[in-house]
């Protein structure tokens, strides 16, 4: 869904993980002899970066990629959950070191954070109730009540579609629930997220439409603070190794994506 969305940043040493404020700009460098801890920001949204109730490890496309990179570097991961729109502010406030949550690389975001090299790409989807007729693409949303998630590129896109009303929600779950409850006629969101949710629970009674061609295909990366060049370099190095081994493709396929979604 729109996420599109990732801000990666500073790595702190394991001793500093006990503090409420991460270290400022140490990047991937920590005290010699101590395991480095990477504080990963996510909105806990499947299929990108989510975790079980214990919150000990990340699953999902982005989650498993950052876990693989961390393992190759000998880092420990600490998970920090917040809503999607708060991820970049949390990064800038040094509450987290990295955002890993299907964040699209956009010029607006690049003005305030640095992105890694692209991880993968995917586009938007339009979700309707399965009993809805007359909506087959973005042009049909003119004059309709539509929904989108706050802080996402899909919200910006939804504003251009000529809807009779536009309702904004804090999470993907709330967005789809509003559609089920007939608060909106359709929602514009991330195709991978919506497809995963619908496949997992067909009783939702929702249908995913994939515009061809998509308005985005969005390119996704991880974001770090502007001054965290050391961490940025280490993340790019780990990503290159992931792509070389083919592990990135294995992860993409696990969540319904494939070769066409691999970052070039």
In sequence order, what are the beta bridge partners of 186?
Answer: 128, 146
Q: Please choose, from the candidates 260, 259, 240, 258, the residue with its C-alpha nearest in 3D space to the C-alpha of residue 65.
A: 240
Those residues whose C-beta lies under 8 Å from the C-beta of residue 162, and which sit 6 or more positions away, are 141, 142, 143
Rounded to whole angstroms, the Cα distance separating 121 from 119 reads 7
Please give the model's pTM, rounded to 2 decimal places. 0.69
Rounded to whole angstroms, the Cα distance separating 46 from 196 reads 7
Q: What is the pLDDT of residues 65-116, one digit of tens each?
A: 999 999 999 999 999 999 999 999 999 999 999 999 999 899 999 999 999 9
What pLDDT was estimated at residue 258?
Answer: 79
Q: Report the sign of the C-alpha dihedral through residues 200, 202, 207, 212, in that order.
A: positive
Stronger pLDDT, 7 or 253, i.e. the higher one: 253
Residue 195 has pLDDT above 50, yes or no: yes
pLDDT bin (cut points 50, 70, 90) of residue 8 is very low
> What are 117's two structure tokens?
């090299």
If DSSP states are collapsed to H, E and C, what string results for the chain?
A: CCCEECCECCEEEHHHHHCCCCCCCCCCCCCCCCCEEEEEEECCECCCEECCCCCCCCECHHHHHHHHHHHHHCCEEEEEECCHHHHHHHHHCCCCCEECCEEECCHHHHCCCEECCCCEEEEEEEEEECCCCCCCCHHHHCCCEEEEECCCHHHHHHCCCCCCEEEEECCHHHHHHHHHCCCCCEEEEEHHHHHHHHHHCHHHCEEEECCCCCCCEEEECCEECCCCHHHHHHHHHHHHHHHHHCHHHHHHHHCCCCHHHECC
In sequence order, what are the beta bridge partners of 221?
Answer: none
Average pLDDT for 120-141: 93
Domains of the chain listed by start with CATH number: 11-120+218-261 (3.40.190.10), 123-217 (3.40.190.10)
Q: Which range, 2-11, 39-48, 193-202, is most confident?
A: 39-48
């Amino acid at each position: 869904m729109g996420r599109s969305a990732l801000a990666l940043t500073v790595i702190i040493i394991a001793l500093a993980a006990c503090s409420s404020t991460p270290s400022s700009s140490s990047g991937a460098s920590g005290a010699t002899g101590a395991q480095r801890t990477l504080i990963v920001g996510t909105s806990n949204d499947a299929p990108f970066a989510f975790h079980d109730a214990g919150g000990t490890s990340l699953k999902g496309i982005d989650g498993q990629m950052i876990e693989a990179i961390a393992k190759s570097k000998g880092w420990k991961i600490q998970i920090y959950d917040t809503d999607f729109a708060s991820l970049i502010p949390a990064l800038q406030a040094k509450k987290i070191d990295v955002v890993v949550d299907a964040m699209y690389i956009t010029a607006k975001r690049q003005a305030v954070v640095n992105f890694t090299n692209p991880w993968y790409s995917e586009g938007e989807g339009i979700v309707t109730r399965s009993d809805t007729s007359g909506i087959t693409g973005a042009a049909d949303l003119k004059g309709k009540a539509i929904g989108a998630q706050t802080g996402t590129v899909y919200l910006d896109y939804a504003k251009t579609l000529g809807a009779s009303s536009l309702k904004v929600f804090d999470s993907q779950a709330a967005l789809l629930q509003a559609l089920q409850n007939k608060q909106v006629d359709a929602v514009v969101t991330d195709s991978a997220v919506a497809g995963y949710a619908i496949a997992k629970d067909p009783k939702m009674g929702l249908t995913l439409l994939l515009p061809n061609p998509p308005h985005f295909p969005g390119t996704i990366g991880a974001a770090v603070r502007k001054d965290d060049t050391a961490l940025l370099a280490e993340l790019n190095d780990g990503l290159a190794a992931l792509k070389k081994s083919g592990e990135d493709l294995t992860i993409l396929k696990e969540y319904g994506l494939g070769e066409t979604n691999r970052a070039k």
